[in-house]
Amino acid sequence: MTTSGTQITQPLTSLLKIKRANDIAEAEVKASREKAQLTGNDVALAVHEVYYRVLIAQAHRGATEARIRASQDLESERIEQVKFGSSLEQESIEKPRANYCKRSTNS
């Protein structure tokens, strides 16, 4: 603005520069917050993945332990069956022999 030979400068340009700098700063803050939110989401996702992997590993371990116990139980059962079968077989061999010996001595 020019009046009677003197020039008056309004601080309008500095206000515009300040506003523009504030807008830029606000945009940077907003971008930083969004980036922080994305990082938080990435961390939460990674934690969930690890958590579910641990749960799956525990389930697999439990199933494997159950299979091992079942196998050991079956093995013990079969060993008992063999022992029982052997004693039955030995009894069935000894009974006829005892009967034969009795008949031989009575004759």
Q: Tell me: the pLDDT tens digits for 14-31? A: 778 889 999 999 999 999
| Residue 107 within any structural domain of the chain | no
Structural domain boundaries enclosing 28: 13-92
Percent of the chain exceeding pLDDT 90 equals: 50
| Residue 54 within any structural domain of the chain | yes
* Number of domains making up the chain: 1
Higher pLDDT, 94 or 41: 41
DSSP 68-89: HHHHHHHHHHHHHHHHHHHHHH
| Residue 100 within any structural domain of the chain | no
| Residue 106 within any structural domain of the chain | no
| Residue 4 within any structural domain of the chain | no
| Residue 42 within any structural domain of the chain | yes
| Residue 41 within any structural domain of the chain | yes
Q: What is the pTM of this model?
A: 0.51
| Residue 48 within any structural domain of the chain | yes
pLDDT band at 95 (very low <50, low <70, confident <90, very high): low
* Alpha carbon distances (Å) from 69 to 55, 61, 63, 80: 21, 12, 10, 16
**Structure token pair of residue 70:** 């079942």
pLDDT band at 104 (very low <50, low <70, confident <90, very high): low
Q: Which amino acid is at 7?
A: Q
pLDDT band at 107 (very low <50, low <70, confident <90, very high): low
